[in-house]
């Protein structure tokens, strides 16, 4: 599958330079694409980016920093997926070398529970909360005729109970993520669905699947 031209150009959302942080969303996207060829992984981080932006807007947080965090959290996953020696350690080292904000690097560390890094910031807790969930919402959308359009938290929860569906998704992490945010689960799911629906075409979630 060819990468959508807007994905290839990194133009999913308008970017504003993070001059104070020394990083921009577009820089983050270019770096991710240098490290990652997989269309599905590119779409995953763009889905996470959309969810991060939505939560940032709700909190009045730095939307561009949160977007860049969503993009870069899986920077090394394609090249170095082994949790024992690679992901996300090598991503963190690369981001440190490039002087990315410590808060962003801390969130990348926190999303990998096996590193044992506590999630003490809203940024880190949100990344953890939306990572697995956004992937699960995408999986649900791909088997629906209307894709992500019209999806509800109820339908997502129904799929979560089906252990054979998107079996790689950690259900416990999905629920614990919302708890760490202090957000009611249905509200959290609705936020992620709405964020991804806004970018449905770019994420390949406009529909055409079979309802399961």
Q: Are 145 and 210 in contact (CB under 8 A)?
A: yes
Question: How far is Cα 131 from Cα 105, in angstroms, rounded to an integer?
Answer: 15
Q: Alpha carbon 57 to chain centroid distance?
A: 15
Tokens standing for 188?
């959290």
pLDDT, tens digit only, all 212 positions of the chain: 333 433 433 333 333 334 344 568 899 999 999 999 999 999 999 999 999 999 999 999 999 999 999 999 999 999 999 988 999 999 999 999 999 999 999 999 999 999 999 999 999 999 999 999 999 999 999 999 999 999 999 999 999 999 999 999 999 999 999 999 999 999 999 999 999 999 999 999 998 755 54
- pTM (predicted TM-score): 0.87
Q: Which CATH architecture has domain 21-203?
A: Orthogonal Bundle (1.10)
């Amino acid at each position: 599958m060819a990468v959508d031209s807007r994905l290839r150009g990194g133009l999913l959302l308008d970017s504003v330079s993070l001059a104070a942080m020394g990083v921009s969303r577009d820089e983050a996207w270019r770096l991710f694409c240098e490290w990652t060829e997989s269309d599905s992984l590119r779409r995953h981080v763009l889905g996470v980016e959309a969810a991060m932006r939505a939560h940032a807007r709700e909190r009045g947080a730095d939307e561009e920093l949160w977007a860049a965090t969503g993009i870069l959290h899986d920077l090394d996953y394609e090249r170095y997926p082994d949790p024992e020696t690679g992901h996300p350690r090598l991503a963190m080292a690369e981001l440190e070398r490039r002087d990315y904000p410590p808060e962003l690097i801390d969130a990348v560390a926190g999303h990998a529970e096996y590193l044992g890094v506590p999630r003490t910031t809203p940024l880190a807790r949100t990344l953890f909360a939306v990572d697995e969930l956004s992937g699960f919402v995408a999986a649900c959308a791909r088997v629906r005729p209307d894709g992500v359009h019209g999806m509800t938290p109820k339908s997502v929860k129904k799929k979560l109970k089906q252990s054979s569906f998107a079996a790689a998704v950690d259900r416990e992490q999905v629920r614990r993520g919302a708890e760490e945010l202090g957000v009611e689960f249905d509200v959290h799911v609705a936020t992620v669905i709405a964020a991804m629906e806004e970018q449905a075409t770019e994420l390949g979630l406009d529909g055409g699947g079979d309802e399961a």
